[in-house]
């Protein structure tokens, strides 16, 4: 794996694919700068070497051409603030302004190209567009894990124009090493915690990680598909009735791979989907008619914590309850506490996937786990064992 540490950027223009697809408020001010902060070490190293940086990113989902609300000029001041460098902004991607500003870029300077998705050729993986981008720089650096699962012009196709001058930035390196630790190199016992709503969205992950893990904790909405498949009464809990057979197959596969499966034993049931609903703790196999499972119960929290306490490598993808509602967040909080404690004692913990990342940030666990992935879809596809185009393009 070639990283930026394998290159000296003195007098070189580094063409860096970053992922600055950041959330903004109604006034287009950045509300979460995590992704910009994550790219800073890579950019710093290049500038410190005496090189310059040309940043490529997308923002939002513009439809067929430039749209002001998706213009990168709105996030340029935040990028400048975080990098501590006055960022030059191009008003196009591969047009005259971008070419002129790239050509005149001096060591220590940073140029931010306009939104690459203002060109349909980006998402189409157009080779001519990739070549025009490539002409702007000397070395290609991919530091955008969040888009590594896309075979777009700036994430994958461009790399072929840099046969001997392409590498990963620090963020990409960290992301790939974190996933590798879970799937290959981490100390055992390895525990995977999968939550969220649907079994169907996790089946390929489960299939791929079974040979690598010792324990599988299942929680969240998909719990009830497993419970119903085993003959339990789940009331009006969320369920995928067409996946009952699949749930039993997963349990059988876990048994064949000597993986211990932990499902909730008790849960907090509610009489409707609301924070103010009536609630009670019941056996997960005996949820009364008209009630629905909304969170793990106290016995389950203790069971899961005991498993995590003994784990040396932990993967967490998906919440255990409806954590957006305060009254049903206790199970996910208890899980966060257990993972934080295990991490403090030396375990490696990786958190990934939109809802889990939202939870750890909201409840300030992001500093208490080993690594929080910046790329939801890319991380999930990695865990499914798929080759990511943005990774393969740099490795080949």
Known binding residues are 19-21, 35, 58-61, 117, 150, 202, 293, 324, 353-356
**Residue 303: how many CB atoms within 10 A of its CB?**
18
Contact 158, 113 (CB under 8 A): no
Q: How far apart are CA 333 and CA 293, in angstroms?
A: 17
Residue 321 a catalytic site member: no
Residue 84 a catalytic site member: no
Q: How many residues does the chain have?
A: 396
- C-alpha atoms less than 13 angstroms from C-alpha of 341 in its C-beta half-sphere: 14
Known binding-site residue numbers for ATP: 202, 293, 324, 353-356
Percent helix, percent strand, percent coil in the chain, to nearest 5? 45, 15, 40
The residue from 280, 354, 385, 386 that is catalytic is 354
Q: How far apart are CA 347 and CA 369, in angstroms?
A: 9
The residue from 35, 132, 166, 236 that is catalytic is 35
The continuous run of DSSP H or E covering 300 comes out as helix 298-309
Residue 354 a catalytic site member: yes
The residue from 2, 198, 279, 361 that is catalytic is 198
Residue 35 a catalytic site member: yes
Q: How far apart are CA 349 and CA 238, in angstroms?
A: 28
Which of these, 224, 250, 222, lies nearest to 235 by C-alpha position?
Answer: 224
Known binding-site residue numbers for substrate: 19-21, 35, 58-61, 117, 150
Q: How far apart are CA 216 and CA 359, in angstroms?
A: 20
Question: Catalytic residues, which ones?
Answer: 35, 198, 354, 377
């Amino acid at each position: 794996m070639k990283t930026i540490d394998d290159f000296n950027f003195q007098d070189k223009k580094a063409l860096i694919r970053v992922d600055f697809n950041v959330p903004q408020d109604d006034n287009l001010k950045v509300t979460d700068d995590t992704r910009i902060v994550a790219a800073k070490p890579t950019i710093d190293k290049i500038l410190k070497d005496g090189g310059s940086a040309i940043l490529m990113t997308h923002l939002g989902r513009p439809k067929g051409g430039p749209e002001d609300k998706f213009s990168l000029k709105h996030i340029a001041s935040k990028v400048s603030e975080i990098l501590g460098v006055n960022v030059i902004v191009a008003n196009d991607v591969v047009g005259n302004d971008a070419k002129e500003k790239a050509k005149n870029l001096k060591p220590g300077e940073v140029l931010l190209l306009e939104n690459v998705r203002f060109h349909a050729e980006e998402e189409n993986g157009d080779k001519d567009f990739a070549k025009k981008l490539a002409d702007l720089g000397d070395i290609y650096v991919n530091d955008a894990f969040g888009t590594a699962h896309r075979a777009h012009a700036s994430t994958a196709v461009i790399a072929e124009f840099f046969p001997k001058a392409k590498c990963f930035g620090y963020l990409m390196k960290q992301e790939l090493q974190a996933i590798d630790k879970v799937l290959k190199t981490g100390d055992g016992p390895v525990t995977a915690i999968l939550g969220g709503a649907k079994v169907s969205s996790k089946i390929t992950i489960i299939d791929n990680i079974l040979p690598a893990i010792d324990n599988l904790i299942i929680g969240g909405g998909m719990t009830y598909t497993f419970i119903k498949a085993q003959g339990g009464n789940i009331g009006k809990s969320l369920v995928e009735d067409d996946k009952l057979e699949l749930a039993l197959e997963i349990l059988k596969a876990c048994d064949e791979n000597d993986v211990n499966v932990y499902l909730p034993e008790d849960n907090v049931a509610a009489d409707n989907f609301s924070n103010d609903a009536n609630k009670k703790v019941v056996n997960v196999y005996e949820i009364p008619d008209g009630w629905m499972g909304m969170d793990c119960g106290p016995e389950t929290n203790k069971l899961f914590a005991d498993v995590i306490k003994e784990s040396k490598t932990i993967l967490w993808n998906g919440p255990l309850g409806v954590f957006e509602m305060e009254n049903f967040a206790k199970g996910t909080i208890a899980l966060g506490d257990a993972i934080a404690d295990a991490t403090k004692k030396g375990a490696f913990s990786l958190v990934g996937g939109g809802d889990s990342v939202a939870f750890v940030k909201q409840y300030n666990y992001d500093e208490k786990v080993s690594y929080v992935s910046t790329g939801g879809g890319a991380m999930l596809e990695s865990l499914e064992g798929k080759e990511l185009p943005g990774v393969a393009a740099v490795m080949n």
